[in-house]
Chains A and B, each alone.
Chain A
């Protein structure tokens, strides 16, 4: 069975600090997707990134970067120079069998960026 663990329940940083959100996953499948979503206080779930299991390249998008390591079954998310607007709950998710139809979500990490 698939499982996603986000061990950090809450993280608090001061603006401009870097912060890394951890995500560890379990799957028996060799073909799977990993996702990160952001949920601001408004409640909407915003898609940030999808990573395919066969693509271990790290990715950078502005202040966001993702580190995918199959050897440790981790897909960590780093925000550089954090801003107050980054305050949100961040969810990591996994889907198997080469399809995004069945998403298994982690429990989420509440990130608070203080001014």
Chain B
């Protein structure tokens, strides 16, 4: 597995502001992902963070709202822009690792965001 950290672990923000979440991995990984988990819900993939190119967004998520950076193979950021209370969620990053016969996604500790 890998050691994955996220900053901040939690935050309370005012509507209309933006928050940047950082994800750091202790080893180089090709693929990193960002997920959103709304209260009481399952996880939804926001985008795949590609190193050296634009992120690949899932249906319903756009770059203007969730810009993502991936400057190297150990780090990525997700920005939640122009926040509204509906953005209150846990945001998780994950990395894809090969282990034995196959691949597994390992997740960071998450960032709990509350928008007032």
Contact = CB atoms under 8 A, between A and B. Distances in A.
Contact of B106 (A47, A98, A106): A47
A77 interface: no
A102 B104 contact: no
Nearest to A51: B102
B112 interface: yes
Contacts of B112: 43
Nearest to B6: A44
Interface string A56-79: 000000000000000000000000
Nearest to A103: B105
B63 interface: no
A2 interface: no
Contacts of B106: 47
Contact of A100 (B43, B103, B107, B109): B103
Main secondary structure of the interface of A (DSSP, over half): loop
Given A35-B104, A101-B31, A43 B109 contact: yes
**Residue among B41, B45, B102, B109 having the largest count of chain A Cβ atoms under 10 Å:** B102
A47 B2 CA distance: 11
A80 interface: no
Contact of B102 (A46, A100, A108): A100
Interface residues of A, number: 22
A33 B102 contact: yes
Contacts of B107: 37, 44-47
A103 B48 CA distance: 12
Contacts of A45: 43, 92, 94, 107, 110
Nearest to B1: A47
A46 B1 CA distance: 11
Interface in B72-115: 90, 92, 94, 96, 99, 101-110, 112
Interface in B57-83: none
Contacts of A37: 107
